[in-house]
Structure 1
Amino acid sequence: MTLLVILLLAYIFQIGSVLLLEFRHPDKALAWMFILFLVPVIGFMFYFFLAQDYRKRKKLRYSGAGQLQDVKTKLSEQSLIVKSVHELHNTDFQRYERLYGLLSHFPESPITGNNETRVLSEGETAFAAMLAEMEKAKHHIHIEFYIFRADGIGTVFQEVMIRKAREGVKVRLLCDGLGSHQLPSSFVHLLQKEGVEVYFFLPPFLATLDRRVNYRNHRKILVVDGTVGFLGGLNVGDDYLGLYEKMGYWRDTHLQLNGDSAYYLQKAFIENWQSASGQKIYAPELFPAHRCKQSEQVQILASGPNQQGNDIQKMYFGAIAAAKQRVWITSPYFIPDQGIFTALRTAALSGVEVLVIIPDRPDSRFVKLASLSYVEELMTAGVKFYQYKKGFIHAKVLIIDNLLASVGTANMDMRSFYYNFEITALMFDREAIIKLTKDFEEDVSESIPIHLPEFSRRSRLQKGAEIVARLLAPLL
């Protein structure tokens, strides 16, 4: 009897600990309680190593606040900052003052007004553009990817990095420790031998010791000479060129940025580099005057578990809630938290056209099950879902009315909201929105719609698997 009481008290302690620490995130709390119900002791051990609040570990916080404040001050002086809704070229925004109020409330991420954007809708085109800009580098190349492979395209990047390093260009490569864990040491050593600096963000061993293995750097950033930048869905690997038979054609969206917005990509890189390497690399020459003559307005939003709240999630929610005509979403991993889920239902019930493109052929069966668990509820509210059939769609795109469009690294899922370092670009000018709209319409033409009557007749086994995947999705 005494043993049973001890076990019961231990179980209550575990449940209480999760509720106390995760009360701000009900989805996470419910998922961990489900794990504790299945495997009480083992589940709590997993919680101990995987779920510790990132910000409580001093070792992993960004240091050098003064240096980063210097960066912020320089950028505010050097960039054309939009300071009023009336300064936006898109006059429709004057009817969305609450949304503008939200977007202007991200002090680290202002809307800038001296930019040129180029939407890159194919891996081949995007890689060619990145490599071409790297070849032009005179001072530095900063590269940050979640996944970097030592395959065909990875070797091409390696060759350019080495060649530029030999020319005296400072080349820095930052990869995620888990996402790029298969990158051979020989590949890395060759880069280092030739003068390329390489660091990994939270390598698995260090992340396990520091109880942060579940936090990942999912950003994809390239900055050349501080004035040209790239971000989007592409990692560096042959699969992103559609060369993996299993996945087939790879559909993605990447973005080239010239001008002020490149400074804010640079700022994000410097912060992650400092966290991974311990080096404080800020120098004025990393933010030279650019020669961009265009006047597109762009906002770079960076988010991560080091923040109090998630700026990208707030933007998604605010933009969906503000929509009057359309909410168009492309996401390979669609696992919304309760706030985004409610915003989508409410928008559809209000008569807004809500369209969501997800893959038909997933790269993760578990993620597909979790995504499908939301479909029936949202479709009953009027949301329309399409499954992309041409290959695998990996783009992360949000289009709101004719107001704004987002391209970046963040999926519409709880991993991006809770655990990952992400970055996205908001574009407000009509030309960019029109281009992304045409791409979305073409993707819809390559997709098949999900029909509610047929979908609702799926088997009990399928529904049961979806429920389990949905319960566990906040953790994975």
Structure 2
Amino acid sequence: MMAAWLTVLFIAYILQIAVILLLEYRRQAHMTAWLFIVLLCPFLGFAAYWLAGSPYVKRRERGRWRLERYEHVGEGRKIKDSDGEISTSCKEEAYRQRLLHVLERLSPFPLRTGNRCRVLTDGEATFDAIEAAMKRARHHIHLDYYTIRHDRVGKRFLRTLIDKARKGVEVRVLYDGIGSMHLDRQFIGELKRAGGQAHCFSPAAGVLRRRLNYRNHRKIVIVDGATGFLGGINIGEEYIGLDPKLGFWRDTHLQLKGEAVYDLQRLFMSDWRMTTGEVWRDPAPYMPEQTHQDETGGEVIIVPGTPGMEDQKIVEVLVAAMSAATTRIYAATPYFIPDPAIASALRIAARSGVDVRLIIPGISDSKLVLLATLSHMTDMLEAGVKVYRYGKGFIHSKVVIIDEMLASVGTANLDMRSFYSNYELLALLFDKAVISRLENDFMQDLQESAKMDAEAFSARPMKQKLAEAVMHIVSPLL
């Protein structure tokens, strides 16, 4: 009898490995990570994989989210699919022209021109700008956040939202079930009693529906369909440097005015429909005629990211941009666990003579993720990538700058979770004044950072190397 049970267990053990091999053969890093977990924790590890990690779950999850398409916006305006037309200045350089064609085809949104973009480099400036915009709201305020805390910053937002809701402004708030796990009922209750709406995107109980792994990591604010915000800053005290462990919090956020706000609105509408089931019958009041248009400059492409392997636009966009670099690639990210294509693009660029500089945290809000980040540094340093560790506090910026051609700012980190498991967002910026501002901020961050030395890094303790090796194996799942 015992022998029969052992045989059944052995067959089950082999089958769980076979299932992972069969389903994950296209994702070598994920396959290795899950096999490692199953070998360490048989059956329990496979149960975790089946609930959270299998491609079937990601395909089903991606099918739940669809981008709303609205033909008419504002007073007779239309959201048009891109026709491939680009500005005259772009046609002067063939490589930039080809890149723009690629980028427009990768994003469901067209190249938007004539936008005004303001770069915000810390929490105080960001919160002040958002609060000022919300106080001017006349029709609606839409918030879509990964993390909302009921601390002094959250209460500041809540006071403004309640005031506007009582005055008849439509207030809608989305918050993620994991990122805002500690958001209490008092916050939601006060907002709803004032006439606002608030809903949780994928509650933590989503594990029962196999959705726990798929988070809405976007940070979007839209006011009256005319002003939009996106970037790395959530709603909480840590973003103004009040976390005693992390201290100063360095981040990057954007304020947009112009037709690019239409695309942020469509993302919010899609997230709202996915969460509440509500379909927007008349979108026109939420996409009014833009009054901040400037016929020159201000080019923006909004790129959304959704879970899954088959339609991973953010990876393709970043690889396309990095591959087009001829002089420089500057990148800052709090978590560096790159997709193999991103890692290869950075190494190849550095070996070809492109000035590749990467800023990562000196201290991190996650020791395990920092170990996983450091596990990728040997390959980067050996390829000639200049890596810097930020020393003033915690750097949370998600910025990539390619030559003087484009910059990317958004919610996605250079890590596998952002690429394959989260709902994310990038803004690709082509305005030279904006790129210059982001470059100046990057160079200032370099002044606050220590350059990593390959020789010194290779001499780190064996204990740390072993910890990094273990975290490297499981890093695709972090």
TM-score normalized with structure 2 length: 0.94
Please, what is the CA RMSD of the aligned residues?
1.9
CA offsets, 1:97-143, max 9 Å, x none?
44223202135121111211000012111110000000111100000
1:87 is displaced (CA, Å) by: 1.6
Aligned partners of 2:362 and 2:390 also within 8 Å: yes
Change (3 A) 1:73 1:62: farther
Partner AA of 1:213 in structure 2: L
1:146 is displaced (CA, Å) by: 0.4
Change (3 A) 1:253 1:163: same
Q: Paired residue for 2:403?
A: 401
**Secondary structure of the residue that 2:113 maps to in structure 1?**
strand
Aligned partners of 1:90 and 1:430 also within 8 Å: no
Change (3 A) 1:306 1:23: closer
Q: Paired residue for 1:210?
A: 209
Gaps of 5+ in 1: none
Q: Using the alignment, how far apart are the partners of 2:61 and 2:301 within structure 1?
A: 29
Structure 2 residue 60 is matched with structure 1 residue 57: yes
Q: Using the alignment, how far apart are the partners of 1:129 and 1:26 within structure 2?
A: 43
Partner AA of 1:467 in structure 2: A
* Farther-moved stretch of structure 1 (337-346 vs 171-180): 337-346
1:15 corresponds to which of 11, 14, 17: 17
Aligned partners of 2:143 and 2:221 also within 8 Å: yes
Partner AA of 2:123 in structure 1: G
* Farther-moved stretch of structure 1 (239-248 vs 16-25): 16-25
1:227 is displaced (CA, Å) by: 1.1
Q: For this pair of structures, how many residues does the alignment match?
A: 471
Q: Using the alignment, how far apart are the partners of 1:124 and 1:93 within structure 2?
A: 39
Q: Using the alignment, how far apart are the partners of 1:306 and 1:192 within structure 2?
A: 34
Change (3 A) 1:77 1:293: closer
TM-score normalized with structure 1 length: 0.95
Aligned partners of 1:218 and 1:409 also within 8 Å: yes
Q: Paired residue for 1:267?
A: 266
Partner AA of 1:415 in structure 2: R
Q: Paired residue for 2:223?
A: 224
Partner AA of 2:26 in structure 1: R
Structure 2 residue 377 is matched with structure 1 residue 378: no
Aligned partners of 2:107 and 2:302 also within 8 Å: no
Q: Using the alignment, how far apart are the partners of 1:172 and 1:16 within structure 2?
A: 46
Partner AA of 1:230 in structure 2: F
Q: Paired residue for 1:331?
A: 333
Structure 2 residue 468 is matched with structure 1 residue 475: no
Partner AA of 2:423 in structure 1: F
Q: Paired residue for 2:36?
A: 34
* Farther-moved stretch of structure 1 (223-232 vs 299-308): 299-308
Q: Using the alignment, how far apart are the partners of 1:423 and 1:260 within structure 2?
A: 16
Change (3 A) 1:306 1:339: closer
Change (3 A) 1:334 1:445: same
Change (3 A) 1:88 1:367: farther
Partner AA of 1:225 in structure 2: D
Partner AA of 2:466 in structure 1: G
| Shift >6 Å, 4+ stretches | none
CA offsets, 1:317-353, max 9 Å, x none?
1111111111110000011011111111111111111
Aligned partners of 1:232 and 1:407 also within 8 Å: yes
* Farther-moved stretch of structure 1 (151-160 vs 84-93): 84-93
Listed as ranges, the matches of 1:342-381 within 5 Å are: 342-381=344-383
Change (3 A) 1:92 1:327: farther
Structure 2 residue 134 is matched with structure 1 residue 131: no
CA offsets, 1:196-228, max 9 Å, x none?
1000100011x1111110110000000000111
Partner AA of 2:380 in structure 1: L
1:78 is displaced (CA, Å) by: 3.6
CA offsets, 1:440-475, max 9 Å, x none?
000000000000110011111111100111111111
Partner AA of 2:248 in structure 1: Y
Q: Paired residue for 1:121?
A: 121
Partner AA of 1:261 in structure 2: A
